[in-house]
Structure 1
Amino acid sequence: MSEESRVEDGNDSLVDPWDGDSRLPDFFGDAWSAVETFHAYLVEEGELRGLIGPREVARLWERHMLNSAAVVPFLPDHGVIVDVGSGAGLPGVVVAAMRPAAQVILVEPMERRVAWLEDVVERTRLTNVEVRRARAQELDGAVEADAVTARAVASLDKLYRWTAPLVREGGSIVAMKGAKAAEELAAAAKVMRSVGLIDGRVHEATTIAGIEPTRVVSAVRGRGARVR
């Protein structure tokens, strides 16, 4: 999308320049119906429910929906995917729509957000989603995930302590991070070793031309690893 098409005037702050872009349904493919329904519900209710700020309405596709989709290539097609700190459903709902053969568990401790997530699941008619009211640390022994996802939940050292016990051997933790992802990964090296995580990597994940890449940090639960 050209810079000219993004120029804002006094009333454009509430208009998402990506609305109606023909590349969106092509990109999301079979997931488009659920993703579009989720997006529309966020536009309608997200700010009112305190899930997104007023400025985010005009940036939902770029900053949230496509940003969430960037994590999907790093996730398995099947198995159990646990999204911790799901909040508004990002990336968990988008992941569920794009990985229909996987079971996606949305983990969120706040009651009002759990209610929102249950509403979203009903509206989008996603049948592969389960919503649990809990903190990640409370699910040790209750779930065995093939992958865990997280967006804006905690620093990697904390995230790894909380979520490594939820991941089966050979499974992965996939976190969406910002510009300092590499530094954060390096700082978490000691914790990674202590919780049995290996092969930490930072990926520049792309979606649609004109959208900034998303930094995705992946790590794998080592075979025979024990969380200390």
Structure 2
Amino acid sequence: MTEGAPTAARVVFGERLALAEGFAELLREHGIRRGLIGPRELDRLWERHLLNSAVVAELLPPNCRVLDVGSGAGLPGIPLAIARPDLDLTLLEPMARRVAWLQEVITELALAVEVVRGRAEEGPVRERLADQDAVTARAVAPMERLAKWCLPLLRPGGQLLAMKGDSAAEEIERDAAAIRAAGGGRAELISCGVGVLAVPTTVVVVERATAARSASGRRRDGARRTRKDRGR
């Protein structure tokens, strides 16, 4: 294990620890200069970023389709891809310079990951990336907006996994109505990495229950209707 990788890293990444170390080194070398992380993050890359992201894999069943929305520096998507090579993982990012970074990382580490430039709320993105088993998001937006953007990308029964901080419980209570309106079920607060990380990762889990409803009460699922219409 190279200097800087904590003992928990071997537990989380196992035989693929070298890949995680490679990603940490790339972030250390390029992260500040390319605006991916702040200067104070260098000393806590493992605990705050890599391990914090990778333990979310506890919530993902084998061989499922996962979309990481607003992937940015590749968090949590890249650590998830390293820890769980069975995942069919796509990274969604709107900024060209960050898309370039993500493509460089997956090439350098030889990861089987797709990178798509776009935003979750865009029609073409929803058409292309619909029916995911899980959608992840880390430090992207409040739950009200995340639900509106991400739940339509899930299959019925799929789950939104939103990594949150200390105010997660308050956010769930505040945005409960908006989550239901977007087609989500009850939001649940889950801690990942318990017994492995000194500070477990807090994840808000929301299952897609139904299609979203408009103010008139009618179902709104434009992408699905469009696909069916084109097949007629």
TM-score range, shorter chain: 0.7 to 0.9
1:136 partnered with 2:120: yes
Q: Is the 8 A contact 2:190 2:204 kept in 1?
A: yes
Q: Output one character per residue of 1:50-100: Cα deviation in whole Å (capped at 9) or x when no partner.
A: 111111111101110111112111122212100000000000001111221
Letter in 2 for 1:134: G
The range that moved more, 70-79 or 82-91, is 70-79
Letter in 2 for 1:137: E
1:65 partnered with 2:50: yes
Structure 1 unaligned runs (5+)?
1-17
Cα deviation for residue 23 of structure 1 reads 3.8
The number of equivalent residue pairs is 208
The percentage of counterpart residues that share the same residue type is 45
1:160 partnered with 2:147: yes
Letter in 2 for 1:140: R
Partner of 2:61: 76
1:202 to 175, 189, 208: 189
Counterpart CA distance in 1 for 2:19 and 2:160 is 25
Cα deviation for residue 43 of structure 1 reads 0.7
1:217 partnered with 2:204: yes
The range that moved more, 148-157 or 97-106, is 97-106
**Matched residue of 2:36: which SS?**
coil
- Aligned positions of 1:79-94 closer than 5 A: 79-94=64-79
The range that moved more, 71-80 or 182-191, is 71-80
Give the TM-score taking structure 2 as reference length.
Answer: 0.85
Cα deviation for residue 227 of structure 1 reads 1.5
2:136 to 149, 152, 159: 149
Q: Is the 8 A contact 1:34 1:126 kept in 2?
A: no
Letter in 1 for 2:137: A
**Matched residue of 2:49: which SS?**
helix
Q: State the 4+ residue runs in structure 1 displaced beyond 3 angstroms.
A: 20-23, 207-210
Q: Is the 8 A contact 1:30 1:98 kept in 2?
A: no
Q: Is the 8 A contact 2:5 2:46 kept in 1?
A: no
Cα deviation for residue 33 of structure 1 reads 2.5
Partner of 1:15: none
Relative to 1, partners in 2 of residues 1:210 and 1:200: Cα closer, same or farther, differing over 3 Å?
closer
The range that moved more, 68-77 or 43-52, is 68-77
Letter in 2 for 1:131: V
Cα deviation for residue 109 of structure 1 reads 0.3
Counterpart CA distance in 2 for 1:226 and 1:210 is 36
Structure 2 unaligned runs (5+)?
214-232
Give the TM-score taking structure 1 as reference length.
Answer: 0.86
Cα deviation for residue 182 of structure 1 reads 0.7
**Matched residue of 1:154: which SS?**
coil
Letter in 2 for 1:42: L
